[in-house]
Amino acid sequence: MPHTSAAHYGAATAGDPYTPTSGNGGYLAEHYDLALDYRVATNRLNATAIITARSLTALDRFSLDCAGLSIDKVTVNGVPARKITHAARKVVITVATTIPANARFEILVRYRGAPHPVRSAWGEVGWEELDDGVLVSGQPCGAPTWFPCNDHPSNKATYRIGVSCESGYTVISNGTLVSQSARSGRTSWTYDVHEPMATYLATVSIGRYRRRDLAASPVAQSLFFPADMAREVAVDFARLGEMLTFFGEKFGPYPFSAYSVVVTDDELEIPLEAHGLAVFGRNHADGRHGSDRLIAHELAHQWFGNSVTVSRWQDIWLQEASPATPSGCGRSSAGGSPPTRARTPSATNSTPCRKTSWWATPDPTACSTIASTSEGRWRCTPSAARSATRPSSRRSPPIRSRFGTGMSRRMTSSPSSHSTREAASWANSSTAGSCRRRFPACRRGGCGILCRRGAPCGGSRMVHGAPASLAWAVRSGT
């Protein structure tokens, strides 16, 4: 009987229990080159994605996450795929020739469609039409609504994002704007992202915005906003430079080349953080500094979440909790009232802000898998912090969109208490640093993260891209 070698199949999931159908195995994406031709008036997208990846094992078949879009063509290393299967939110690609282990390869995908949000356990996420424009809410599994990808935060990559749309609109995306050109009533914008970025942090905002450059130090800061909101935006974001300076002193230098803020013409229930920028609704700019805590919270995500990123979703509470304490500090530094100590949730009042409702209950086994650097290791806040932040009873995550329930993009409830709930999402900061006291010898499996000796506790995984400056958390003991 002749010998037949076994086929090599990459897993169709990253194995994350919080998003069990997202992510893929057998390879890591290293770079995405996206060329999007979009028509705002009709919500029609024609696009090409070129993905540079590296195989972790020999591959005869692998998959990509892609939701609600039609696939027209797939090639691997310039050769048409032997078979393409597109079912639900996966594109399964069978290659013509086996890809050897530890080899770089290039995937080209041409696709089209009318991008729209997808349902998830936390509401609808992804590409969202506004009244006159677009925004993207990618967390946790919305990225596949506008480009094929390996959609899991453990796989960070660099990007080039090119978008063409009708002239008269401004396109804002991650990274640095490297080119802008207009022709035949359409304008093309190209952005480069040189730092590793998780798929859920990739974003595109399209709207009729004015631009105001605030300052060039400590990094370039820009605002994009509707023309009729110039006064409110000027007041509410006047402290942005002070916040950047203050956070830089506490956390280390700002990790990216620039920071942008988009204020949409629509009202949004909560702001959205992305790599190098944040998106707010017009209801978050009142001209009276009513959203200072939210502004500081989203800014702090550039360090906690965007540069240093969880490698499994059950630990999202760590990167969401960390910015809650700085959001109070930033207000005090900017000359406002003294920071209010975050309120510890109790059995009778344990509702976090809606943005955090899906991660608010820390996993009982989780205190791990935050990215680290070779110069220093992150400590966590173990059981002491866990018990302080956990509600009295575990509940299933509510079905709630970032923009309300269903596909509503406007607010469905009053925003008046959002800032309070943002602050309440993190318990008293005195628990910080207790990991060092409780686990001085790095007991295996104790804290679940990479300890200061560099030994893995509980099988932690690292996500590259964290700046060395973030070792302050270890050295300062806070």
CATH number at residue 377: 1.10.390
The pLDDT value recorded for residue 432 is: 28
**AA identity, residue 205:** S
Residues 114 and 257 in one domain: no
Q: Would 190 be classed as within a structural domain?
A: no
Report the pLDDT value the prediction gives residue 148, as an integer from 0 to 100: 98
Same domain, 274 and 176: no
Nearest to 49 by CA among 67, 37, 69, 33: 33
- pLDDT attached to residue 217: 87
- Indicate whether 257 and 149 sit together in one domain: no
Mean pLDDT by 10 residues, the chain (478 residues): 68 96 98 98 98 98 98 98 94 98 98 96 94 96 98 98 98 98 97 98 98 93 98 97 95 96 96 97 96 95 95 92 62 39 27 34 38 26 30 30 33 33 27 28 32 32 34 29
Q: Where are the alpha helices (DSSP H) in 322-433?
A: 324-333, 383-389, 418-424
The count of other CB atoms within 10 Å of the CB of residue 475 is 10
In the block, tokens 């009982």 appear at 364
Which one of 130, 165, 181 terminates a domain? 181
Based on the fold, state whether residues 97 and 213 are members of the same structural domain. Answer: no
Provide the residue type at 28 as one letter: L
Q: What is the pLDDT of residue 266?
A: 97
Domain holding 392, by residue range, is: 209-478
Per the CB < 8 A criterion, the answer to whether 59 and 104 are in contact is no
CATH number at 130 reads: 2.60.40.1730
Tell me, yes or no, whether 289 lies in a domain: yes
Assigned domain for 356 exists: yes
- Which pLDDT value is given to residue 414? 32
Q: Are 145 and 135 in contact (CB under 8 A)?
A: no
Q: Are residues 215 and 174 in the same domain?
A: no
User: Is position 195 within any domain?
Assistant: no
Spatial separation of the C-alpha atoms in residues 340 and 315, rounded to whole Å? 25
Q: Are residues 267 and 412 in the same domain?
A: yes
- 197 occurs within a structural domain: no
Q: How far apart are CA 38 and CA 166, in angstroms?
A: 8
Q: Which residues contact 426 (CB under 8 A, 6 or more apart)?
A: 321, 322, 324, 325, 342, 389
Length of the chain: 478
Identify whether the C-beta of residue 184 lies closer than 8 Å to the C-beta of residue 272.
Answer: no
- Torsion angle of alpha carbons 464, 467, 471, 476, nearest 10°? -140
Where would I find the H helices in 315-413? 316-321, 324-333, 383-389
151, 190 contact by CB (below 8 A): no
Distance, in Å, from the CA atom of 122 to the CA atom of 140, rounded to the nearest integer, reads 9
Both 143 and 238 in one domain: the answer is no
| Whether residue 284 is found in the same domain as residue 148 | no
Measure the CA–CA gap between 275 and 305, rounded to whole angstroms: 9
Residue where a domain terminates, one of 165, 181, 197: 181
Alpha-carbon dihedral sign for residues 201, 415, 226, 222: negative
Same domain, yes or no, for 164 and 286? no
Contact 260, 277 (CB under 8 A): yes
135: nearest Cα among 317, 240, 3, 272: 272
112 and 214 part of one domain? no
Q: What is the pLDDT of residue 327?
A: 57
Identify the sign of the CA torsion 145, 146, 151, 154.
negative
Q: Which pTM was predicted?
A: 0.74
Adjacent-strand bridge partners of 52: 31, 106
Residue 368 domain-assigned (yes or no): yes
320 and 420 together in one domain: yes
- Say if 434 falls within a structural domain: yes
421 and 286 fall within a common domain: yes
How far CA 284 is from CA of 225, 233, 263, 411, in Å, comes to 12, 9, 8, 11
* Residue 194 lies inside a defined structural domain of this protein: no
Query: What pLDDT is recorded for position 324?
Result: 63
Q: How many domains does the chain contain in total?
A: 2
